[in-house]
A and B are shown apart, each in its own frame.
Chain A
Amino acid sequence: MSFPTLPTRLDGVELAIQTRAVTKRYAPDAVALDGLDLQVPAGAVYVLVGPNGAGKSTTLRVLLDLVRADRGTASVLGISTTAQPALVRAQIGYVPEVVDTAYGWLTVGGLLKHHAAFYHAWDWAYADALCKRLGLRMDERFRALSKGGARRVALVTALAHRPPVLLLDEPTDGLDPLARDDFGGLLVDHMADAPTTILWSTHHVHEAERMADHIGVLREGRLLLQAPVDEVRGGLRRYRAEVPDGWAGAPGLNGDVLVRARAGREITWTVWGDERHVAERLSASGATVRDAGRLSLEDAALALLRAGEAA
């Protein structure tokens, strides 16, 4: 199956985060990033999806200069990540995939103090309010916290210096449903208070669906697609049609079909393209189109990844 031409560039808008042709290999045959051109517009909530090992965490770590790219350049708010890494990190709130427990003997309050020392803009009133909302006590030992508790501390340290950029790596991992909901509320408030750009890496697209306005689908260190969410939800549709016996397919559409399924005389096609154009082609081939439905962002990402796998 040929793979449709999908949008992968967000040129012409102001970008808060940008990588140019970033390649990273951890070993000669272990390519983490393969010429990645990530473009996150200023003020966007950009959800980065992909299977394990697609390069999501490496992307975030390159932006923080925790990992050096072999080739290519990266910048955050126009600042080079390798030339001025400290300045870049000061602009970023980071929730890592694995929370560092090196300071496990500290209390929550002690740990926050340790972090506060690194940031001019640390806001103690905000940190206190965040802890209250997340049900964290300052006198608790960090080591004694559950996985979800440690993650909540990471959220506080990421937000409390009011950074203009948030890098979230599976931020809701280990959170129970209530804490997950609290986290959503915190994020919305944070965005409403100050212009914030969010790069949100996740397996759980539905968690980000109400907030995301851009999506990048990463596979094997490359972006299969990078576009505004509206464009994806408009461009990718699932068609259900009845077809006559011996139906031979719709010529001219094959290149844009991502997923197809057939049961008896009914077919389901997930197609990238203009709805009218696709429906016309299907009708012209003798099919009766019953439905051209949108996909949830989660289903859209899944369809893209499945097609990428098959191509």
Chain B
Amino acid sequence: MLINLDTADERPLYQQIVDEVRRALVLGTLAAQDPLPSVRALATELRVNPNTVQQAYRELERAGIIYSRRGQGTFVADPGTGERALLLRDVAERALKDARRYGIEPEELAEAVLRAAQLHPSTPSTASVP
């Protein structure tokens, strides 16, 4: 599982971990019954406070996205139905927030997104690649 964290991001670190797990599920890089790294392993890999990973896992468990089995670790639960819709809403909200900063109206943004998609079909984003 690849997790990118950005301390300059609006979202707290634990929320970023939650979102990255959800993203991996929607993309299919994580599937039902896949094991997740232990809190210690993920904290060490990400160089974050173990409590932060714990908080993220708690949140994911509460949302029914993962479950833990005593002594065996943490696993991805069977997928819920609304996961993709939830992710879409989050992405849209982030884009809207950015648009507001530039004084762009939601309708303008939606049109511009469609136009840009036609101009550059499936251009991969390079923004998150260091």
Do the beta carbons of B100 and A291 come within 8 Å of each other? Answer: yes
Which has the most chain A C-beta neighbours within 10 Å: B10, B43, B49? B49
CB neighbours (8 Å) of A278 from chain B are: none
Q: Kindly state whether residue B13 has any CB partner on chain A within 8 Å.
A: yes
Which has the most chain B C-beta neighbours within 10 Å: A188, A189, A290, A296? A188
Q: Kindly state whether residue B44 has any CB partner on chain A within 8 Å.
A: yes
A191-B50, A233-B12, A291-B101 are contacts. A185–B5 as well, Cβ < 8 Å?
no
Q: Kindly state whether residue A7 has any CB partner on chain B within 8 Å.
A: no
**What's the Cα separation between A296 and B10 when bound, in Å?**
9
Nearest-CB residue, chain B, relative to A193: B40
Do the beta carbons of B101 and A210 come within 8 Å of each other? Answer: no
Q: Kindly state whether residue B80 has any CB partner on chain A within 8 Å.
A: no
A210-B5, A296-B7 are contacts. A290–B101 as well, Cβ < 8 Å?
yes
Cβ-neighbour of A211 out of B12, B40, B49, B102 (below 8 A): B49
Contact flags (1/0) for B4-22 with A, using CB distance below 8 Å? 0101101011000000000
Do the beta carbons of B44 and A185 come within 8 Å of each other? Answer: yes
Q: How many residues of B contact A (CB 8 A)?
A: 22
Q: Kindly state whether residue B76 has any CB partner on chain A within 8 Å.
A: no
Do the beta carbons of A188 and B12 come within 8 Å of each other? Answer: no
A210-B7, A290-B100, A293-B10 are contacts. A188–B39 as well, Cβ < 8 Å?
no
CB neighbours (8 Å) of A240 from chain B are: 101
Do the beta carbons of B50 and A188 come within 8 Å of each other? Answer: yes
Cβ-neighbour of A192 out of B13, B40, B103 (below 8 A): B40
Q: Kindly state whether residue B32 has any CB partner on chain A within 8 Å.
A: no
Q: Kindly state whether residue B46 has any CB partner on chain A within 8 Å.
A: yes
Cβ-neighbour of A209 out of B7, B44, B102 (below 8 A): B7
Which has the most chain B C-beta neighbours within 10 Å: A210, A240, A290? A210
Q: Kindly state whether residue B70 has any CB partner on chain A within 8 Å.
A: no
Do the beta carbons of B47 and A206 come within 8 Å of each other? Answer: no
Do the beta carbons of B40 and A184 come within 8 Å of each other? Answer: no
A230-B12, A291-B100, A291-B101 are contacts. A206–B7 as well, Cβ < 8 Å?
yes
Do the beta carbons of B49 and A294 come within 8 Å of each other? Answer: no
Nearest-CB residue, chain A, relative to B97: A291
Do the beta carbons of B40 and A189 come within 8 Å of each other? Answer: yes
Q: Within residues 44 to 84 of chain B, which ones have a CB less than 8 A from any CB in chain A? A: 44, 46-52
Nearest-CB residue, chain A, relative to B99: A290
CB neighbours (8 Å) of B103 from chain A are: 242, 290
Q: Kindly state whether residue A45 has any CB partner on chain B within 8 Å.
A: yes
Do the beta carbons of A188 and B48 come within 8 Å of each other? Answer: yes
**What's the Cα separation between A297 and B13 when bound, in Å?**
12
Q: Kindly state whether residue A123 has any CB partner on chain B within 8 Å.
A: no
A contact residues vs B (CB 8 Å cutoff): 43, 45, 181, 184-185, 188-189, 191-193, 206, 209-213, 230, 233, 240, 242, 290-291, 293-294, 296-297
Q: Can you identify 10 A-B contacts, CB atoms within 8 angstroms?
A: A188-B44, A189-B40, A191-B50, A192-B40, A192-B44, A206-B7, A211-B47, A211-B48, A212-B49, A291-B97
Beyond the given pairs A192-B50, A213-B49, 8 more chain A to chain B contacts, judged by CB atoms under 8 angstroms and listed by A's residue number, are A185-B44, A192-B43, A210-B46, A211-B47, A211-B48, A290-B102, A293-B10, A296-B7
